[in-house]
Structure 1
Amino acid sequence: MALTKYVADFVLGLRFEGIPEPVRRQAAEHMLDGYGLALSAHAEKGHAIMRRYAERVSCAQEVAVFGTSLRSSAELAALTNGLAMHAMDYDDTQLSTNPDSVYGLLTHPTTPVLGAASAIAELVGASGRDLLTAYVAGVEVACRTSDASNPRHYQKGFHSTGTFGAIGAVAAAGKLLKLSHDQLLQALGIAAALSGGYRENFGTMTKPLHAGKAAEAGVFAARLAAEGFTAARNILEAKRGMYSASSDGYEPSRIDGRLGAPFFFEDPGISIKPYPSGSLSHPGQDAVLELVNEHDVHSDDVEKAIAGTNSAMPNALIYAQPQTALEAKFSFPYFLAIAILHRKVGIEEFRDDVVLGSEVQELMKRCSHVVDPEIDARGFQHMDTRITIRLKGGRVLERVESFATGHPRKPMSRGQLEAKFFECAELAIDRNQAQLAAEMILAIDDVEHVGKLHEMLAG
C-alpha cells in the first residue's frame, strides 16, 4: 500500500461533518486538557529557560505563547507551547491495539498535534471548527502511525511522541494551511526528517523538548512545503524511510484502511492523565491512594509499601531514590511515599523542595518497586499493579488495579476534567479568565476565531 499517500488522502478528505459527535466531544475535552497543560508549566525550570530563549530570538510576532504576553513565530510558539504541554508529564496517552506493544502505550498525541495546530490556526485566522477538524486528523494520524510501528521502535530507545508526534503535527498543520495533496506528501517527508527523541532523556528537561520539537517540526515542514520545498513522497513505507529505519518495519493491518475507521478516540481510546507523572504508574497510584484514604494510613504506621508490576515497567520507572521533581515522575517509591504522606498526588507534589523533604526521603527507603510474577505472566501490554502496604502492627493491605482514572474504561467526569484544567491554568491566569477559556474550548466548534480563544490564554 502507498501508505504516505493514504495518510494524505485521509487528512485532506476529513470534514467536520464527518467526525462523529462523540469524537468531537472527546476531542474538545482533550483540547481542554492540552491547553490547560500549556499554562501549567509557567513555573517549570525547563519552560522558563525556553521562554527566555524565545524572548531573545523571536522576531516575527505571529502568534501567542500561552501564559505569557509574548508573541513569536508560529514555529517558535509551537515549540514553546508544545514543550509546556509535556513539561509536567501530565498529558494524555494513547493506548495500543498491539498485544506485543511494550507497556500497551505509545504516544502523547495531543501535545505535538495541538502545539502545531493551535499555532497555525491562529496564524491563518481559522475557526474553532477548523481547529478541531485539524486536531482530530492529526491525533488520528499520530496514533495510527505509532500503533502500526514495530515494538522495536520503543525498545531501540525512540520516544514515539517525538517521532510519530511530528507526523501527526504536520498532518494538522498541513490541513489548516490547505496544502495540496502533493505538498502534504512532501511535508510529511520533511517532518519525518526533523522528527526524533530518545528515551535516555526521560527524567530531564529534554523529554518535553521532544514533544515541543515535534510540534515545531509539523509547523516548519508544512510551511516549507507550501513554499515548494521537496522531500520523499513515500517517507513512511519506503525501504529507507521512517518505519524501516526506526522500527524494522511496521504492521500494515494496524493502519491500512483504519484511519477514522473507527477513530482512535473511539477504539481503543486515549487516556487523560490523573497524575503529573509517568502513566505506567497510574493504576498503582489510584490503588495506593484508595488504600491510604480508606484505612487512614499514616507514614509512622508503614513498615513497607510495595508496588508489584510486570518486568517491563522498571525499565521506564527507573528512579529508586529521586533527588529532583523530574526524576520523581519516574519513581514508584516516590509515588508510594508521597501518596502516604499527602494523600493526593498533584502538581504541588512534584516540586524539588517536596521531593527532597526529609520525611519523603526517609519513607522512600521503606518503599519499593518489584516484579510481581503473577502480573508479569499476563504480558507487557497490561498495566496491572499490585499495591501492598505492610503495617507495623502486622496488618497487610493489598489492592490490584488494572486501569487508572482517565482510562477509557474508567473515564474522568466533566467535573474532574475541569478541576484538572483549573489546577493547571491558574498557575498562569486568574480563575475568571480560566473559566471563560474553558467554556470556549468545550464549545470549540462555536468559536469563530481561534485568536479570540488564545487571547484568553495570555498571561
Structure 2
Amino acid sequence: MGATEKLARFVIETPSEKISDEAIERATAGLMDAVGTALVANTNEIGRIITEFTEEVGGTPVSRVIGTNIKTSSPNAALANGTLGHADDYDDVGGFGHPAVILMPTVLALGEQLGKTGREILDAYVLGFDVGARLAQGIGGDHYERGWHSTVTLGTLASAAAASRLMGLTVDQTRHALGIAASHAAGMQANFGTMTKPLHPGNGARSGITAATLASKGYTANQNIIEAPLGYVAVFGDKQANINAMTHQLGDAQWQIVNPGFKIKEWPCCYGNHGAVPMLIDLVHKYEIQPEQVESVEFIGGMGASGFLNRPDTDTYFGGKFSLQFNIAAAVVDGAMSYDTFTDEKVNSPEIRDMMSRVILKDDIMTKDLPARIHSQHRDQTVVINMKDGRSVSDSIETATNTLVGHEIDVKFEANASKVLPSEKVERALSLLKDLKNVKDISEVLDAVTV
C-alpha cells in the first residue's frame, strides 16, 4: 500500500473518538485565532480587494465570507477567508507553514454548506493538519530552500484531506482528491512581501474544496500521486525527500497538531522576526537605550543577509512585515511592537528609516554554506546593539519559541474582532468558538462573525 492510499485511509477511517481531547483543543485555538485575523483584515487594502472580487464573481450562496455580508460558493468563500486570514501575516505558524489559514477556510466554508457540527469540522481540521505536517516531514527542508511556499504546496493537499473527511468520501475518492489537489499546489517565496502571499492559502483552500468536490462526482486523478514517478514527491521533493516518513506510525503516534504543533503569533509579521524582536525589546528596556545612543544593530542568524527577510528598502506596511531591518528598527526605536506598528507611515517615518540604515544583517558563518538539510534546521539567532559610547549589549536564542497561550489568545481575538464587529457579536463569537466542539451547526458561528 502506497503513501497516498495510507493517508487517504487514515483521513476517512479514523473514528472521531480516537482524536484526543488535546488535539481538539489545539484545533479550536488555531481556528479561532485565524477567524480573528480574517476579521481584522477587512480593515486593510488586501481585505477590500479580495472581498470586492469575491462579491463580483458571485457563486451559489451557500457559504459566508468572514466579517462581511457576502454569501457565495464554498470554494469562493474559502478563497476569500484564507486570503483574509493571512492578509496581515498574523496567523499561526508550524506544521506545514501557516496551517490555520488553509484549514479554517476549508472547514468553515464546506462545513456551512453541509450543515456540519463543530466537532465534525474540528475532526477534519485535526486530520488535515496531520496530513500537511506529515507531508512536510517527508518532503524535506530543501523543498522550502528551493523557493516553494510550503503553506500552499503542502497545504493544498491538507485542505483536500479535510474536505474529503467532511464530505464523507470513500478512500478511493479521497485518493483522487489528493491527486487533483496535487496539480493545484503552487506558491513561490518570490511573492513574499506582496499581496500575493496571502492569496496563496486562500487559493490552497479553494483548491482543496474543488478537488474533493470533483472527486465526489467521479472526477479522476492518479490515485498514487504522492509516490508516483513524475508525481508529487518526484516534482516537489529533492535529496531530502523521504516518502516513508510521511506515514511513519500513522494513527499510532501523537497527533501532529499537538507535537510538534504550532505557535500563535503575538505580532502581525513573519515569524522569522519573532526571535530578534523580543530580544531587542528586552535589551532596550533593561539598559534604558534611547535611539540616538545607537551606532548600529547587528543580527546574526540563518535568516540574515541571504534570507528573504533582508529587505532594507521596503516602503509599505506589508513589505515591512517581511523586513528584518524594519522590525529591528521598530523594536529599538519604540521598545515595543503591536498591530499598529505596521503602517505605511511608520515604515516611512524619518526616525525608523534612520535606524533601518544602521541595521547590519549577517549570516551565521557556521552554516551559511552548508547543505539545506543542515542550514534549514539551524535557527540560532544573536542580536547586538552597538552604542556610540563604545558599549555593546547582546542576547542570543537557539530558536524563536514565543507564542500566545490561554487567555492571551482570547485577548488577541477580541482585539481583532472588535475592529469589525460590535461588542455583543465579539462576545458571542468568542463564546461559540471556544466551545466549538459542542456547536450543533457551524452556521451559528458564521452568524456571529459576519455582518
> TM-score normalized by structure 1?
0.92
Superposition deviation, residue 155 in structure 1: 2.6
**Contact in 1 for aligned 2:102/2:205 (Cα 8 Å):** yes
Paired position in structure 1 for 2:84 = 84
Tell me the SS of whatever aligns to 1:314: coil
Q: 1:200 aligns with which of 183, 190, 193?
A: 190
Tell me the SS of whatever aligns to 2:259: coil
Superposition deviation, residue 380 in structure 1: 3.4
Superposition deviation, residue 397 in structure 1: 1.6
- Asked if 1:392 is matched to 2:385, the reply is no
Q: 2:377 aligns with which of 353, 360, 381?
A: 381
Greater shift in the superposed pair: 282-291 or 242-251: 242-251
Paired position in structure 2 for 1:103 = none
Q: 1:257 aligns with which of 248, 256, 263?
A: 248
- Asked if 1:227 is matched to 2:217, the reply is yes
Q: 1:244 aligns with which of 210, 234, 242?
A: 234
**Contact in 2 for aligned 1:375/1:385 (Cα 8 Å):** no
Q: Alpha-carbon deviations, 1:38-83, whole Å to 9, x = none?
A: 1121122222111111111113211110011111110100000001
- Asked if 1:421 is matched to 2:406, the reply is no
Paired position in structure 1 for 2:309 = 317
Partner amino acid, structure 1, of 2:71 = R
Paired position in structure 2 for 1:371 = 363
CA distance in structure 2 between the aligned counterparts of 1:56 and 1:279, rounded to whole angstroms = 33
Paired position in structure 2 for 1:101 = none
- Asked if 1:278 is matched to 2:270, the reply is yes
Paired position in structure 1 for 2:104 = 114
Tell me the SS of whatever aligns to 2:275: helix
Partner amino acid, structure 1, of 2:154 = F
Tell me the SS of whatever aligns to 1:368: strand
Q: Alpha-carbon deviations, 1:291-327, whole Å to 9, x = none?
A: 1222332212211111111267732213013111222
CA distance in structure 2 between the aligned counterparts of 1:32 and 1:59, rounded to whole angstroms = 26
Paired position in structure 1 for 2:73 = 73
Q: Alpha-carbon deviations, 1:96-142, whole Å to 9, x = none?
A: xxxxxxxxxx4211111111111111110100000100000111111
Greater shift in the superposed pair: 145-154 or 49-58: 145-154
The gaps in structure 1 that reach 5 residues or longer are 96-105
CA distance in structure 2 between the aligned counterparts of 1:151 and 1:294, rounded to whole angstroms = 37
Tell me the SS of whatever aligns to 1:344: coil
Q: 2:426 aligns with which of 402, 421, 434?
A: 434
Partner amino acid, structure 2, of 1:217 = S
Tell me the SS of whatever aligns to 1:420: helix
How big is the alpha-carbon RMSD for the aligned residues of Structure 1 and Structure 2? Answer: 1.9
Paired position in structure 1 for 2:280 = 288
Q: Alpha-carbon deviations, 1:155-192, whole Å to 9, x = none?
A: 32211111110000011111111111111111111111
Paired position in structure 2 for 1:100 = none
Partner amino acid, structure 2, of 1:35 = V
- Asked if 1:330 is matched to 2:319, the reply is no
Q: 1:190 aligns with which of 177, 180, 197?
A: 180
The gaps in structure 2 that reach 5 residues or longer are none
Superposition deviation, residue 373 in structure 1: 3.2
**Contact in 1 for aligned 2:328/2:359 (Cα 8 Å):** yes
Aligned-residue sequence identity (percent) comes to 30
Paired position in structure 1 for 2:142 = 152
- The residue correspondences of 1:121-136 to structure 2 (distance < 5 A) are 121-136=111-126
**Contact in 1 for aligned 2:41/2:47 (Cα 8 Å):** yes
Tell me the SS of whatever aligns to 1:112: helix
**Cα separation, partners in 2 of 1:312 and 1:293, compared to 1, 3 Å:** closer
**Contact in 2 for aligned 1:15/1:133 (Cα 8 Å):** no
Tell me the SS of whatever aligns to 1:315: coil
Superposition deviation, residue 439 in structure 1: 2.0
Paired position in structure 2 for 1:98 = none
Tell me the SS of whatever aligns to 2:60: coil
Tell me the SS of whatever aligns to 2:278: helix
**Contact in 2 for aligned 1:140/1:259 (Cα 8 Å):** no
Paired position in structure 2 for 1:34 = 34
Greater shift in the superposed pair: 27-36 or 395-404: 395-404
Greater shift in the superposed pair: 45-54 or 428-437: 428-437
Partner amino acid, structure 1, of 2:260 = P
**Contact in 1 for aligned 2:305/2:362 (Cα 8 Å):** no
CA distance in structure 1 between the aligned counterparts of 2:305 and 2:117, rounded to whole angstroms = 42
Paired position in structure 2 for 1:402 = 398
Greater shift in the superposed pair: 69-78 or 266-275: 266-275
Greater shift in the superposed pair: 223-232 or 343-352: 343-352
Q: 2:203 aligns with which of 186, 202, 213?
A: 213
CA distance in structure 1 between the aligned counterparts of 2:42 and 2:305, rounded to whole angstroms = 30
Partner amino acid, structure 1, of 2:97 = T
CA distance in structure 2 between the aligned counterparts of 1:151 and 1:26, rounded to whole angstroms = 25
Superposition deviation, residue 371 in structure 1: 2.0
> TM-score normalized by structure 2?
0.94
Superposition deviation, residue 333 in structure 1: 1.3
Tell me the SS of whatever aligns to 2:295: strand
Superposition deviation, residue 426 in structure 1: 2.1
Partner amino acid, structure 1, of 2:250 = L
